Each structure stands twice: as C-alpha cells, then as structure tokens.
Amino acid sequence: MLTNSCLPRHHMACADNRIGASHDDERHSWIPTLQASRIIWKQTVIAYNAGSKNPAMSDAVTSPTFALPSRRYKIKKAASIGFAALGFLLVTLVVVPHFVDLGLFKRTYLPRVEEALNRRIDVDEVRLSLIPTPSIRMSSLKIFDSHPGNAGSTFFSAQQVQLRLRFWPLMSGRFEVSELVLDKPTFNLVKQPDGTFNYSDIAEKKTSAGARRETRKRAEAPKASSDGTAAPLFIPGNLRVRDGQLNVISKGQTPVNIKGIDLSLRDFSSDAPFPFQASFSYPGLKTISLTGDLDYQEEKALVELKNNILKVHDLTLPLQGSISNLSATLRFNLNLRSNNVDAKPIFQVLSVFGLAPRDTEVAGPMDLYMNVTGPLNSLVTQVRGLFKDVKVHGKRALKGTLTGDVSIRLPVGAGPVSRRLQGNGKLVARDGELTNVDLIKKVERVTGMIGLSKDEQRQATTFQTMETDFVIGGGYAEFTRLYLINPQMEVTGGGTMTIEQPTLNLTVDTALSPQASTRAGRGRVTTFFKDKQGRIVVPLKVVGPVENPSVDLNAGKLAETGLPQNAEKGFSSFFKRLFRSR
C-alpha cells in the first residue's frame, strides 16, 4: 500500500504544499501524494524491465526479475518444430496415397483409352506414389491386337507405365498428367497380306463414331463436373521412352527387330516447335540417333522436322522433311543431303543391309542425297551417290580410284532386299589393278604363253581405265557396257551379275595390243581373230562366282568368225588349258 511520504528528491515540493496550503487545499492534499506515487510506480516498471532493483526504492514496490530465453532454448524449440513438420510431411506422403481413389482412374480413363484404341487393355497393378514425384505407376501393361488375323496377340506391352501428375490438382482428386514415361515398351507392327498394318484400324475409325463420342462427352461434361468425380486428362507435355523395342513383322519374311529405343520429347506444343531426342540400336551398326525440333501443326495433321541431325556409324548428316496424315496411315517425306562426306562409313552401312561387299575398303569424298517418301506401308527409299576420286580396294575384284554417279531405289515390300533393289549408274575406275588372285594367275599364264615378258604380264593385270554402265533390277546388275584398257590389252563387253551371292555371266572381247598380237600372231588360225587394226581379238566368256570365275572361249562368237571346226576345237582346247580353274 502506498504511503503519504515523499521521496527525498521531491521533499521541497511536499514542504511547500504543507506550508502554503489552505483549508480548501487540505481537502485535496492527497493529489501530490498520488502524483508522487505515480512517479514511483513508473520507476518501478523501468526497474522491472531492466531486470534490476533500485536500492532507494521501497521493498513494497519491488518484485522478482525475469531473464530473456537463452539461445540454446530457441534452437531446441526450432528443431522440435522442424522435426514435427517433417514427420507430418512424411506421414502425409505415406498416408495420402491410400485415400486417393485409384478406382476413379481405372473407371474413368482406362475405358477411354480402350475405346480410343478399340483394343482390350490389361494391367497387373496400379499404384500411386508421391515420392519423388506424384505419379501413377501401372505395371505389366498389355494392349491386345484386335485384327482378326492376330486375335489374342500383343499389340503393345510395357514393363511399367508411369504417369507423372501435378501435385495440387491431385489433392483435389483430379489427374493432370505432366509426363508420360514408358519403361521397356514393345511395339509389334504386323504387316497384313493386303499391305496394311495392324494399327490401321486405329487411324481409320469412322468419323461418325468420333462425332457421336464427342457429342456424348459434351452432354456428360456438366454432370461430371457437378459431382466432382471426373476430370479432364490433359495431353502430357513431356514423353520419355526407355529401352524400347519395335518388331516389324511381315508374313513369310524374317522379322525386323529394332532394340534399345530411347525417346525424349519435351514441352510438347502445337503453337511452337519443341525439342526431342531419339536413338536406337540396329544389328551391325553403332547407335543411331536423331536430335532436333519438331513442329506439330494440328490443323494439317502434320509434323515438320526442323534443324534435325542424324548420326549413324560415324556419320553426321542433316535431315529435314515432314510426316503427314497423322490421323490415318502415316506419310513420310524426309530428305537428307550432304556434300563431301567420307564414303567409308556409308559403305559400311550399306554392307550391313547386303548392298555392298563387306571386304571392300572405301575411303574418300562423295556427295550423298537421300529421301524417304510414301505411306508407311509402302515406303520408297532413294539414294544417290556422287563419287569424287574415292579410293577402292576390294579383295575379290580390283582396287583403284573411283569416280561416277550411282542411284538406287528400294521400295518396301515382300521378298529379299536384293530382289527389290532398283537403280542405275556409271562408274569409272582409274590407275588400278585386279585383286582376284585366281584371275591374275590366269591372265599372267595366257599372256606368258603368247610371249609377253614378266613385266608385261604384270601390266596385263593392271588397268589405266575401267568403265562400266549398269542397271539394277530383279536381283541382277546388268552391265550394259564394260571397258578396260591397259598397255597390253583392251577389253569390251557386257553381261550380268547376281546381287545376292555375286555370280558373273559376262561375254567380253579381249584385243591384244599390236606388240602382243605380233608375237602371238604367227599361224594361220590367228588370222580369224584379227581385227582391222591387226590386233588379235579373242572372244571370252566369264562365268561363275566373283571369287573364282571360269574363263572359256565364247563358242557362239567363234562360230560367227567362220573358224574351221577342227581349228575351233584346237583353239578352244588351248584356252581351256590356259583358263582352267586351279
């Protein structure tokens, strides 16, 4: 309880109040005391907040002091709050997926996919996970073929399909897909006898059916939104395929299996080009990759390739073009053009498909033009190569410097590649020599018997120029013109060669040089073989495998020369001994 006493520093004011106070003032004498008490109380508050006690202050106005929380206490409290929040988050991540109705997903979206594909879908398990990204994972997904000829077979399968979802829409029960990930998918494309593939029914569904479904969806949209049980499934902007496989199956043919398919498509949009990467493996080749941008034009059902780079077997080539008719059978129009590329990897790629001998070494610059056109079920690949002093070394034929122009055309279809291949070309080889050991021995033997020296015999296996014009078709290469010249002989002729397991069937006229003709021209029989220039011209037939052909006199040509029958037999026997296989 406060008293009427004054503090020392206020005693003058109190004395004045006592001396000069009137009777009326005495009735209000409690005011200065109250003022003094008010001053004392304020100082008490200051002393309390400072955590100290004023010694001059009465014990009646003092109270115990309180210290501020320590730093350790604050850290412990913050850590407790943090651990509690983390525990709550972990519990949420574990518990929430059990309260999300995946039956909604199965009932709403899988039937839509089945209806769109017109195929039965089977999936082993559907799970929701929130770590590390909210996603729906479907294991052992299978889509069955609906084509009558392939009923029950698998059209598509995947070890796992992952639909990555946006978090906040998921919390409200909506499934918004941000990315689709396919792990180890397998596509089985089957070509039917009529030339169509087993996916054609997807693209060729009747427009009227599509219109009816769209009308039904619009009619059901208000109802679905009102009860909150349905939500739109957005087209994912991102797509990834990991370790996929594509099997192309044609009746009566060996299946084509493309493995190790990886695909990454980011920021899919119909408003602007978006980036993508694709790669796959093919037996006998290094990994083939394609990177660049795709421009999807929805109104035209078209995808245009922009700034694309194709890498295949040490080759880096620009690729451009488009894929159209996306709502039906795809149509391709792809073009590749590159100048002064190395011919070596190109021939290595061709050898994988049986279009070039594996034991031929090729190196040097060439221009390459290639285009792939037509619908998917009847694609046509056309390739044109311009050789610019390309060094060629074939162990079974020849070596030299090659120039010329070759065009080939390969349509998709039944039968082996060698029979479907078409084309033509004109090639010139210079400053070369034969590399077929057996043929060299035969040439050296016959030239030696007609009197040529060792050096001249070796010259007979070389050439200054070798030219050929040819046409490819029906599994054959037809040489419409063959020409070879060296210091000892000049050879002209033509014939054919099978492309698969190359086998020759050539007829040639071999004209010896004037010097060689003089040494070999002693005798009456040789007069039947001399041309107007006095050279001996011997008609020959070359038949058999490229590795070791047989060389004989051309009997039909001999009959045209008017050679007596007994002389013909003797001369034929002579050449058979010279050119017999050893």
Tokens 């120039």: give the residue.
403
C-beta contacts of 168-175 below 8 A and 24+ residues apart = 169/231, 170/100, 170/134, 173/100, 173/101, 173/104, 173/228, 173/229, 173/231, 174/231, 174/232, 175/105, 175/109, 175/136, 175/231, 175/233
Helix or strand (DSSP H, E) at 320: strand 315-324
- What was the pLDDT predicted at 233? 38
Token pair in block for residue 487: 């210091």
The answer on pLDDT for 44 being more than 60 is: no
- What was the pLDDT predicted at 279? 95
- What was the pLDDT predicted at 355? 74
Tokens 């039968």: give the residue.
415
> For the residues 154-183, what does the mean pLDDT come to?
84
- What was the pLDDT predicted at 488? 79
> For the residues 163-189, what does the mean pLDDT come to?
83
- What was the pLDDT predicted at 260? 93
Can you tell me whether residue 147 is helix, strand or coil? coil
Residue with the bigger pLDDT between 105 and 279: it is 279
- What was the pLDDT predicted at 5? 43
Mind listing the pLDDT tens digit for each residue in 394-411?
Answer: 877 788 999 999 999 999
Helix or strand (DSSP H, E) at 257: strand 256-265
Helix or strand (DSSP H, E) at 511: strand 503-512
**Cα 419 to Cα 147, 254, 473, 498, 540, distances in angstroms:** 30, 15, 7, 10, 28
**Cα 479 to Cα 10, 476, 570, distances in angstroms:** 134, 9, 31
Residue 387 CA to residue 405 CA, distance in Å, equals 6
Rank 171-180, 192-201, 383-392, 486-495 by mean pLDDT and report only the highest.
383-392
- What was the pLDDT predicted at 569? 55
Residue 504 CA to residue 331 CA, distance in Å, equals 39
> For the residues 242-271, what does the mean pLDDT come to?
87
Token pair in block for residue 358: 């594996």
Mean pLDDT taken over the chain: 75
Q: Helix, strand, coil shares of the chain as percentages rounded to 5?
A: 35, 40, 25
> For the residues 120-137, what does the mean pLDDT come to?
81
Domain residue spans in the chain?
A: 8-61, 69-99, 101-265, 436-582
Mind listing the pLDDT tens digit for each residue in 414-433?
Answer: 778 888 899 999 999 999 98
For the entire predicted model, the pTM comes to: 0.68
Residue 39 CA to residue 494 CA, distance in Å, equals 131
**Close Cβ partners of 119 (under 8 Å, ≥ 6 residues apart):** 143, 144, 145, 146, 155
- What was the pLDDT predicted at 434? 78
Q: Is 511 within 8 Å of 531 (Cβ atoms)?
A: yes
- What was the pLDDT predicted at 448? 61
The answer on pLDDT for 16 being more than 70 is: no
447 closest CA partner among 429, 462, 426, 467: 462
* Angle of CA points 479, 484, 490, to nearest 5°: 125
**Close Cβ partners of 354 (under 8 Å, ≥ 6 residues apart):** 417, 418, 499, 500
Residue with the bigger pLDDT between 527 and 182: it is 182
310 closest CA partner among 286, 331, 330: 286
Residue 145 CA to residue 390 CA, distance in Å, equals 50
Mind listing the pLDDT tens digit for each residue in 196-237?
Answer: 777 777 766 544 444 444 444 444 444 443 343 333 334 578
**Cα 155 to Cα 124, 181, 256, 333, distances in angstroms:** 17, 18, 16, 26
- What was the pLDDT predicted at 445? 67
Residue 369 CA to residue 374 CA, distance in Å, equals 17
Mind listing the pLDDT tens digit for each residue in 48-84?
Answer: 444 444 444 444 444 444 555 676 766 766 666 766 6
Can you tell me whether residue 288 is helix, strand or coil? strand
